Amino acid sequence: MLFHRCPAAGRARQCFHALKLIKKDCLQSLRVSRCASTAAVPRITTHYTIHPRDKDKRWEGVNMERFAEEADVVVVGAGPAGLSAAIRLKQLAAEHSKEVRVCLVEKASQIGAHTLSGACVEPRALEELFPDWKERGAPLKTPVTEDKFGILTETSRIPVPILPGLPMVNHGNYIVRLGHLVSWLGEQAEALGVEIYPGYAAAEVLFHEDGSVKGIATNDVGIQKDGAPKATFERGLELHAKVTVFAEGCHGHLAKQLYKRYNLRENCQPQSYGIGLKELWTIDKTKWKPGRVEHTVGWPLDRHTYGGSFLYHLNEPEPLVALGFVVGLDYQNPYLNPFREFQRWKHHPSVQPTLEGGTRIAYGARALNEGGIQSIPKLTFPGGLLIGCSPGLLNVPKIKGTHTAMKSGMLASEAIFSRLTNENLQSKTIGLDVQEYEENLKKSWVWKELYAVRNIRPSCHTVLGVYGGMIYTGIFYWILRGMEPWTLKHPGPDYAQLKPAKDCTPIEYPKPDGKISFDLLSSVALSGTNHEDDQPPHLTLKDDSVPVSRNLAVFDGPEQRFCPAGVYEYVPLETGEGSRLQINAQNCVHCKTCDIKDPSQNINWVVPEGGGGPAYNGM
């Protein structure tokens, strides 16, 4: 049975509009936060997820009632997966003359503003979703015309042939600015009747008494940095649905809660991740080769540190290139700094000439899943399901996940629609458990593709490191196409791979020259990142004492190096004895690296007030 539009819909939109006005009044320019304390362990975390409001006298008498509204399906996250799911649902509803209400919430202030990827896209899923995507004006302007791969040493580049059938082949693919593609998908979704609410972060999962997912609640607004309510405090909104689709992207903070509640990771390996850093440059037109795709492995990383680079030439009105560097977050040396490795890479003799005389115009970073099929959790549970990069559907050796994410969203919607319109539906729980989605995904080309490449990433864990992975790919994948009768395993969670500082050699990085390489804070400024200053830091600590007592003492404070935005900083105590951790939450680009790589697993990333974060333009 379908939900119909209720008279309260207008009131809900008024609430969303009111929250927008409050948020607009509160926004301030980016600046570094400073907090001081004379306590033995300075208080850092003030967020209600760590310090409950029902035990805080400042919240006595505050109205905590939330307005609630019903939908058929709620989608969390407006990336390629979430938007494809919403679009497919409305397509099916139109084809069958059914009324299905689909609401989508997105934490970015604009659709696409938090999207970051290389990106070289395989259009297979897009063609299935919109066979007429070219006529509709989808922003895929740069077909791949040249494909290059190489191994870097400190002074040279060794070309590696890309044999037909290898996952790195990009013939038929398109270089895109993924944020622009996501924005276009948002326009298509709205035209079909999807209700999209940008600037509203899903902060909480709601549950029925029978344990099934009831929906989500958006974040509260109007809370001071110290955790007290402001005069402008407003409770978030509840959105209830028969099915809630979680499409948060890599390492979603709600998905983490669902893994634990429903034990979704019981039968899979720990997820493995990478951190991807990216810049956009305008370059000398004589060096511009629209359609050229270049990838490298090797220098400046050693063979035991997984990673590599990309350099894509875009066909835009101006001579634009997208370049980036990925470092596997299972690295061992706590002195490694992914941002500075990226800056150092740009000075390689095969890279620097392309950038000389050019101008850097954008910067950003995002974590990505690298675990492959071994690390995919159970995808369905009563009242909800996981799609896209949230469960980890990235094809790692292809360095592509947009097509698999989109297809997962489409398959999810087809299964959901079938359940919603089943007149003989009998459900054990109020929230529907759409198990057919996972069954259909495992029958699709997505699963076949991920299964075939399942051993490539873990093959890099041998004594030969990354080069062992290349040998494995050349022998076993190229010949057997993933049909080998074994499945390799990952060594364990990424955070557990970090070695104590005393067992590692500090890494000396060259100073940036301000022309090719740059410092961190000027880079963050190019991301457009902004958060309301007077709100509790959304980088929460389970125990405020752990950063100094363990992370700094044992690992020399790795968070000050693995964060690509300068959020974490160890500063001297006011007494002059010892240090304290300072969290510059306004700098956060929402990459989730800290939540993943923290060796103490003490950092818990939660959503800030909706609309905060980076403001990427076609990243």
Helical spans, DSSP H, in 457-538: 466-472, 478-480, 520-525
Tokens of 65: 């009632």
How many Å apart are CA 106 and CA 88, to the nearest integer? 18
Residue 35 annotated to the active site: no
Helix-, strand-, coil-residue percentages of the chain, each rounded to 5: 30, 20, 50
Q: Is 504 a catalytic residue?
A: no
Per-residue CA distances from 441 to 27, 244, 393, 436 (Å): 42, 18, 11, 8
What sign has the CA pseudo-torsion 110, 81, 619, 254? positive
From the candidates 103, 120, 250, 594, give the one annotated as an active-site residue.
594
The distance from CA 434 to its chain's CA centroid, rounded to whole angstroms, is: 25
Pairwise CA distance, residues 574 & 541, whole Å: 21
Q: Which long-range contacts (CB under 8 A, 24 or more apart) does 432-436 make?
A: 432/212, 432/242, 432/243, 432/382, 432/383, 433/212, 433/380, 433/381, 433/382, 433/383, 434/243, 434/380, 434/385, 435/380
Which residue's structure tokens are 């003492």? 553
Which residue among 103, 120, 389, 591 is the active-site one?
591
- What do you get for the CA distance between the two ends of the chain, in Å? 40
Considering the candidates 45, 84, 109, 117, report the single residue annotated as catalytic: 117
Residues sharing a CB contact under 8 Å with residue 498, sequence separation 6 or more, in sequence order: 331, 332, 334, 555, 558, 597, 599
Query: Phi and psi for 179 in degrees, rounded to 5?
Result: -60, -35
**Tokens 């936060």 belong to residue:** 33
- Catalytic: 117? yes
CB within 8 Å of 221: residues ≥ 6 apart? 19, 22, 23, 26, 232, 233, 234, 236, 609, 610
Per the annotation, the verdict on 250 as an active-site residue is no
DSSP 532: -
Please identify which of the residues 218, 354, 402, 408 carries the catalytic annotation. Answer: 402
Q: Which of 309, 563, 580, 593 is catalytic?
A: 563
Does an H or E element contain 153, and which? Answer: none
Cα 142 to Cα 520: distance, rounded to the nearest angstrom: 30
CB 531, CB 221: distance < 8 Å: no
Instruction: State the catalytic residue, choosing from 88, 459, 588, 593.
Output: 588
As a whole number of angstroms, the distance between CA 420 and CA 4 comes to: 12
The catalytic position among 344, 366, 454, 580 is: 366
Q: What single letter denotes the amino acid at residue 76? A: V
Question: How many CA atoms does the CB half-sphere of 611 hold within 13 Å?
Answer: 18
The verdict on whether 366 is a catalytic residue reads yes
Residues with a catalytic annotation lie at: 117, 366, 402, 563, 588, 591, 594
